[in-house]
């Protein structure tokens, strides 16, 4: 991808922090020349004076541009401490190893159940799903070629996970990471076995990856909030249960999915906002 990318302040609330704490960048993923490009958003979170975390690592084709955009946003004195991955699909992980090469002290954060898919120990194409469509299409798409070394990964359990998960070897309880970054890990399985959302506690913004989507339907004109695509979702029922779990929480006000057409201007640029209110999500998923 030759087009430069840039992170802009995520201006969804007032007053905006000065300097801003949250930033967003939208990459347009050209999945097929027969389909409209899919918006893929990544986010930067500043914690401390010069330490940063990235949430998701972009889609194929954006690797070099995204690395440069991160470097430009955090500055020469900034430190990228963590790369939080919501899950291991190729449109969320593409620039991971390029980022780890540029920022040699950075670590990848992922839910413990998702880590084997990042290291290559497990593959989505060999994971049996609960839906017929997924079990057919899993051999054709969404498998990432990115493989992350175990020594660059911080495996975490989510807030509300069974307590026994925190006792597993090399699995970090989410409160330890939250104390350092202000980010709370929320387990949202369904789209993938270890899918996670990340709640930035100070701003009450939650970054939800593919827990749900806000895209324009094939024959529609405006974005619609939907569950993740069945063809790439291991367990649609678990995905919907994760959305209901998010709605039961009282510590967030706005959710930012990775695929969010509501954040895109008519010219294809990023409006620096987007996201979905809790009320709008509740309307889309009643009960």
Query: How confident is the model over 112-137, as pLDDT tens digits?
Result: 999 999 999 999 999 999 988 999 99
What is the CA angle 102-61-29, rounded to 5?
125
Please tell me the predicted confidence (pLDDT) of residue 188.
97
pLDDT score, position 265: 54
> For residue 174, what are the domain limits?
8-284
Q: Nearest CA to 206 among 190, 191, 188?
A: 188
Work out the average pLDDT over 51-70: 96
The answer to whether residues 149 and 176 touch, using CB atoms and an 8 Å cutoff, is no
Share of the chain above pLDDT 90, in %: 70
- Classify residue 68: in a domain, yes or no: yes
Instruction: Determine the distance from the C-alpha atom of residue 152 to the mean position of all C-alpha atoms in its chain, rounded to a whole number.
Output: 18
Residues 6+ apart with CB under 8 A from 39: 26, 27, 28, 29, 215, 259, 260, 261, 263, 264
Q: Is residue 116 part of a domain?
A: yes
Report whether the peptide linkage leading into residue 19 is cis, meaning its omega lies within 30 degrees of zero. yes
Please check whether residue 3 lies inside any domain of the structure.
Answer: no
Give a yes or no: residue 227 inside a domain. yes
Whether 1 maps to a domain, the answer reads no
148 to each of 100, 116, 248, 275, how far by Cα in Å?
Answer: 9, 10, 34, 29
Q: In terms of pLDDT, which residue wins out, 193 or 29?
A: 193
Work out the average pLDDT over 186-209.
96
Burial class (CB in 10 A: 0-12, 13-18, 19+), 246: buried
Q: Is the sign of the CA dihedral 28, 85, 83, 252 positive or negative?
A: positive
How many domains does the chain fold into? 1
Is 2 inside any structural domain? no
- Provide the whole-model pTM: 0.93
Q: CATH number, domain at 81?
A: 3.60.15.10
């Amino acid at each position: 991808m030759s087009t430069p990318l840039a992170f802009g302040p995520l201006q969804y609330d007032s007053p905006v922090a000065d300097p801003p704490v949250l930033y967003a960048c939208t990459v347009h993923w050209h999945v097929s020349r027969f389909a409209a490009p899919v918006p893929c958003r990544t986010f930067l979170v500043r914690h401390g004076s010069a330490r940063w975390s990235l949430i998701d690592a972009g889609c194929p084709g954006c690797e070099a541009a995204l690395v440069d955009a991160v470097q430009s946003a955090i500055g020469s004195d900034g430190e990228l401490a963590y790369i939080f991955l919501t899950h291991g699909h190729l449109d969320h992980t593409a620039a991971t190893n390029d980022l780890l090469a540029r920022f040699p002290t950075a670590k990848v954060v992922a839910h413990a159940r998702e880590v084997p898919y990042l290291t290559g120990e497990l593959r989505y194409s060999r994971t049996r799903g609960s839906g017929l469509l997924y079990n057919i299409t899993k051999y054709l798409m969404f498998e990432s070629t990115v493989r992350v070394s175990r020594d660059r990964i911080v495996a975490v359990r989510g807030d509300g996970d069974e307590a026994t998960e925190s006792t597993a070897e090399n699995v970090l309880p989410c409160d330890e990471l939250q104390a350092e970054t202000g980010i709370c890990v929320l387990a949202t399985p369904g789209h993938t076995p270890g899918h996670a959302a990340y709640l930035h506690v100070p701003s009450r913004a939650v970054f939800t990856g593919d827990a749900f989507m806000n895209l324009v339907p094939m024959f529609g004109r405006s974005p619609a909030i939907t569950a993740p695509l069945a063809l790439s979702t291991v367990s649609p029922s678990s995905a919907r249960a994760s959305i209901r779990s998010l709605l039961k929480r009282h510590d967030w006000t706005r959710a930012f999915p990775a695929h969010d057409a509501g954040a895109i201007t008519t010219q294809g640029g990023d409006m620096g906002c987007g996201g979905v209110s809790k009320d709008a999500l509740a309307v889309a998923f009643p009960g």
